[in-house]
């Protein structure tokens, strides 16, 4: 029996961070930079799978960021998945907590249309999928489901036969594993011990790529992995030096070999800074000078969030649009957003904290509808107008 190759990825979160505005200068694409980044990573993973003759492509949940992704996102998703299906690769997709609102999930429509597809498997309830000599034990997210019970139940259904494999796929939390930032508790975590005894355990939910259960050496096959997200999704993740990756698994005889294949991500920095310091940087930039900001080396094409604390009572003239323009030029960053952290009202003029949220809201509305291209220009105009209205401060 030859080697069986399996790719494991998870937590694509298509639709997350899509509303980062003002990307018109980026390759002339009017989509959010981070959404574009997710697309790029998916392309890279799909290409790898096809080139390396993958047989099973596993996505263990949270493909989408919510249960009703817009048509643009679904179209892109379909194009990539179709490439895999064209190459006769089995694609097994687990529904994660982000993919559903408890009533419908993001792939309900596709699922019903593809009941007879041989290669596409959309799993929204507990199921053992038997393909060839592999039993895929699937535990997708379900509200108030008994994860422990299901793991135990499916364990009893293992094939446990020579040249047959048992692979567990699940979207859940695990006690003791690193949940990282921005991940919801799903009601009950399972223990690592409960996950032992499979040839490979493909997990989704935690965004930090990690192998767990290193202590379970008494089990012959002990390969339990969270594939992790494919880009940094939460601003809190910027403090964690986690490398994004997907897993490439080779099964042959008794051997299970797992490689983590690295994915590149752009620099994504969140910097806290006082308004005074911001003014200083602004002055230096006007002289074409680049100064170090809080000891951070800013790489080109990065995304920067400046959290600016305003606490002084004096009103200072500050041209936000000009600042952003200069900052982009001098530091070579792709995107910069300023979040105002107002400690006190600045001399009669109150900076509206929600002003940037309005732009994001406008983008959200656009992305969740399906308007003609012209509307994007319009929203961009509104966005710029909101920012320029801050100029007088
Ligand atoms: Mn999840």
Q: Tell me the CA–centroid distance for residue 206 and ligand 1, in Å.
A: 7
Q: What is the pLDDT of residue 383?
A: 52
Tokens of 190: 């399972």
Q: How far is the CA of 59 from the centre of ligand 1 (A)?
A: 12
Q: Which residues of 273-283 are buried (b: 16+ CB within 10 A; e: fewer)?
A: bebeebeebbe
Quote the CA–CA distance of 393 and 391 in Å, as a whole number: 5
Q: What is the mean predicted confidence (pLDDT) over 364-380?
A: 46
Q: List C-alpha distances in Å: 121 to 79, 118, 226, 304.
A: 16, 8, 20, 39
Distance 13 CA to ligand 1 centre (A): 9
Neighbours of 41 (CB within 10 A): 19
| pLDDT of res. 153 | 96
Q: pLDDT tens for residues 190-241?
A: 999 899 999 999 999 999 999 998 765 554 557 999 999 999 887 555 555 6
12 or 320, greater pLDDT: 12
Q: CA 380 → CA 35, 276, 385, distances in Å?
A: 17, 29, 8
CA of 301 to the centre of ligand 1 (A): 29
- Cα 202 to Cα 215: distance, rounded to the nearest angstrom: 18
Distance 83 CA to ligand 1 centre (A): 25
pLDDT at 116: 64
The pLDDT of residue 14 is: 93
Please give the distance, rounded to the nearest whole angstrom, from the Cα atom of residue 304 to the centre of ligand 1. 26
For residues 198, 203, 208 and 211, what is the CA-based torsion angle, rounded to 10 degrees? 0
Ligand 1: centre distance to CA 359 (Å): 27
Ligand 1 center–CA 376 separation, angstroms: 30
Report the CATH fold assignment for 4-263. Answer: Purple Acid Phosphatase; chain A, domain 2 (3.60.21)
Q: How far is the CA of 286 from the centre of ligand 1 (A)?
A: 45
What distance in angstroms lies between residue 190's CA and the mean position of ligand 1's atoms?
A: 15
pLDDT over 70 percentage in the chain: 73
> 264 falls in which pLDDT band (50, 70, 90)?
confident
Evaluate whether 17 touches 32 at the Cβ level (below 8 Å).
Answer: yes
Distance (Å) from CA 269 to ligand 1 centroid: 23
pTM score, whole prediction: 0.78
Q: What is the pairing mode between strands 244-252 and 4-9?
A: antiparallel
Q: What is the pLDDT, as a whole number, of residue 374?
A: 47
**CA of residue 336 to ligand 1 center, whole Å:** 28
Domain positions in the chain: 4-263, 268-388
| CA 10 to centroid of ligand 1, rounded, Å | 9
Structure tokens at 276: 């005074």
> Would you say the C-alpha torsion 45, 46, 49, 55 has a positive or negative sign?
positive
The CA 143 to ligand 1 mean position distance, Å, reads 12
Nearest by Cα to 11 from 160, 142, 141: 141
- Under 8 Å CB-to-CB from 6, ≥6 apart: which residues? 54, 55, 56, 57, 58, 167, 200, 248, 249, 250, 251
Q: Work out the average pLDDT over 236-265.
A: 84
Q: Average pLDDT over the chain, rounded to whole?
A: 79
């Amino acid at each position: 029996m030859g080697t069986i190759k399996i790719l494991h990825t998870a937590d694509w979160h298509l639709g997350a961070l899509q509303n980062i505005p003002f990307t018109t200068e980026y390759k002339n694409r009017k989509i959010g930079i981070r959404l574009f980044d997710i697309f790029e990573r998916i392309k890279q993973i799909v290409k790898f799978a096809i080139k390396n003759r993958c047989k099973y492509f596993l996505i263990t949940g949270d493909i989408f960021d919510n249960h009703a992704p817009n048509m643009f996102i679904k179209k892109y998703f379909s194009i990539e998945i179709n490439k895999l299906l064209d190459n006769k690769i089995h694609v097994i997709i687990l529904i994660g907590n982000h993919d559903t609102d408890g009533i419908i999930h993001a792939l309900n429509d596709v699922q019903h249309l593809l009941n007879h597809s041989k290669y596409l498997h959309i799993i929204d309830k507990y199921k053992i999928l038997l393909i060839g000599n592999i039993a895929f034990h699937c535990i997708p997210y379900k509200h108030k489901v008994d994860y422990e019970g299901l793991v135990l139940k499916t364990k009893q259904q293992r094939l446990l036969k020579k040249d047959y494999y048992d692979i567990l796929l699940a979207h859940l939390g695990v006690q003791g594993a690193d949940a990282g930032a921005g991940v919801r508790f799903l009601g009950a975590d399972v223990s690592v011990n409960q996950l032992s005894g499979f040839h490979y355990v493909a997990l989704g939910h935690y965004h930090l790529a990690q192998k767990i259960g290193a202590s379970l050496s008494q089990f012959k096959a002990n390969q339990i992995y969270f594939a992790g997200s494919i880009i940094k999704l939460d601003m809190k993740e910027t403090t964690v030096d986690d490398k994004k990756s997907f897993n490439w698994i080779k099964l042959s005889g008794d051997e299970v070999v797992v490689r983590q294949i690295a994915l590149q991500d752009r620099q994504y920095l969140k910097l806290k800074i006082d308004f005074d310091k911001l003014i200083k940087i602004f002055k230096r930039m006007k002289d074409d000078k680049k100064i170090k900001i809080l000891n951070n080396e800013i790489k080109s094409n990065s995304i920067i969030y400046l959290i600016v604390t305003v606490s002084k009572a004096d009103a200072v003239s500050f041209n936000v649009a000009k600042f952003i323009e200069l900052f982009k030029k001098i530091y070579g960053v792709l995107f910069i957003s300023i979040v105002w952290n107002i400690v006190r009202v600045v001399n009669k003029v109150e900076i509206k904290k929600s002003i940037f949220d309005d732009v994001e809201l406008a983008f959200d509305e656009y992305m969740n509808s399906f308007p003609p291209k012209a509307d994007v220009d319009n929203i961009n105009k509104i966005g710029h107008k909101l920012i320029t209205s801050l100029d007088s401060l």
